Amino acid sequence: MSPGRSRKHTHRGNSVRISGAVKAMNTARRRLSEGIPPAEAPQFRRWVTQVVDQIETICRANRIRPEQLLPPTYRAYLYLRSIDLQNLPPPQEDVSAPAAPVRIRNLVALTRWLQEQLQEIAAAPQEQRPQLRQSALRSVQETWRQVENKLQAAGAGREALPAPSRRACQWLRCLSQPAHFDRHISALQQVQQAAGRILAAARKPRGVQFQAEFAHIPSLYRVTTRGRTVKLTASEAYTGAPPQVLEDLARAALLGRDRSTGERLKAYSESAAFQQALGALEGEPVSGGRGSTYDLQQVFARVNAEYFDGKMPAPRLVWNSTITHRKLGHYQFSSDTVLISITLDTPQTPEYVIDYVMYHELLHKALGVQVVNGRRYAHTPAFRRAERRFRYYNEAQEYLQKLGQSLS
């Protein structure tokens, strides 16, 4: 949202959406996280002030109050208005020397071999899968240990690896967790089954072969065709997707992406679940537990003492590094991680709201999931009853509804 230029704004019912407001918030947050050089501080102050003034001018022109803006725009306005322009953070000096590149021979080739093992498990008869799974999981875990040992011996982190090797390394780390390994196999099976149904219904020529794999790739998915073989390579972050999305991947590979298929795939790739899975895959969220307003360690300690008698083992606590417009929190069972949307890390967020989000995610850790007919249910009746024990449940719900956000 650039000062001095007219802003496009659209009406939806009694609400107004201002184009560029959310982008301005994200830009300001990124700049603040990097630090503002003293020479650029006056320009940054003027820019933030002018963006806030523009939003308020548009509100007056439409005879509405800022809180009547659509929720994403209103949250952007609140964030920009909350910036302490007189105390801007300076850049942090980085005096460390850049890490020397580290190479691990045959790492990418090894992941290709492991992909073949995973495909073999997914296609195997049910009675053969347990033994194949155990063998392949051991191979993945042992390979990951060897990679870790080589990095430690070199005194380097994963960031020192070339991009293809770094992605392979991150994929191995994620796949070495048994829960994620099983989710990967399940997703492979669902995609293969969906492809079989699609090929049968479309009456494709006999002999068409379909292959699928999930990997840590820089794109959402890619499709390659060699002769009569169609190969789908999709982001590992899709392995937790609902069956319809996995079927859409197979459909896009075999039939091309129609409008509805494309919209569903895009919508899921923009969801909090996908972004959080991608963050877990990369393994290094931008921010840890200490935010600009709230420290998640302190929030956890407070909630743990009041609602779990201080007996809840501490999970990994991180702020999700992206601004989310719907989902505010997530608990990852595979890595025992509570991710909270950094959208809430503002002075405008009441303490009882951040406590409620933490309580909700810790309930997932405490109660687990219920599996019925192969489907996983996290928000069970028992979960909802426990959730209502939160002291300020009604107030927190009212605040979140006002912002148009949810925890479901």
200 contacts: CB under 8 Å, gap ≥ 6? none
DSSP string, 225-254: EETTEEEEEEEGGGGGS-HHHHHHHHHHHH
Element (H, E) at 187: helix 178-202
CATH number of 296-403: 3.30.2010.10
Helices assigned H by DSSP within 62-177: 71-82, 107-123, 129-154, 163-175
Instruction: For 190-242, write each residue's pLDDT tens digit.
Output: 999 999 999 988 776 677 899 999 999 888 899 999 988 999 999 999 999 99
Torsion of CA 167, 173, 177, 178, to 10 degrees: 60
Predicted model pTM: 0.50
344 near 328, Cβ under 8 Å? yes
Provide the 3-class DSSP secondary structure of residue 214.
strand
Return the pLDDT at 101: 59
- Find out whether 81 and 27 touch, Cβ atoms under 8 Å: no
In tens digits, the chain (408 residues) has pLDDT values of 554 443 445 554 445 667 778 788 878 877 887 788 888 999 999 999 999 998 998 888 888 888 888 877 887 888 888 888 888 888 865 434 444 556 777 888 888 899 999 999 999 998 998 999 999 999 889 988 888 888 777 776 666 678 788 888 889 988 998 988 999 999 999 999 999 999 988 776 677 899 999 999 888 899 999 988 999 999 999 999 999 999 999 999 999 888 889 888 888 886 767 867 777 776 544 445 778 889 999 999 999 999 999 888 888 888 875 555 456 888 876 567 888 888 888 888 899 999 999 999 999 988 887 766 555 677 888 999 999 999 999 999 988 887 665 555
- The CA angle 83-84-86, to the nearest 5 degrees, is 140
pLDDT tens digit sequence for 85-134: 888 888 865 434 444 556 777 888 888 899 999 999 999 998 998 999 99
The dihedrals phi and psi of 180, each to the nearest 5 degrees, come to -70, -35
Q: Is 227 left (phi over 0), alpha (psi -120 to 50) or beta?
A: left
**The tokens of 200 are what?**
């049968």
- DSSP state for residue 218 in the 8-state scheme: S
Q: Which one, of 29, 15, 13, 9, lies nearest residue 71 by Cα?
A: 15
- The SS3 assignment for 148 reads helix
Tell me the pairing of strands 209-215 and 229-235.
Answer: parallel
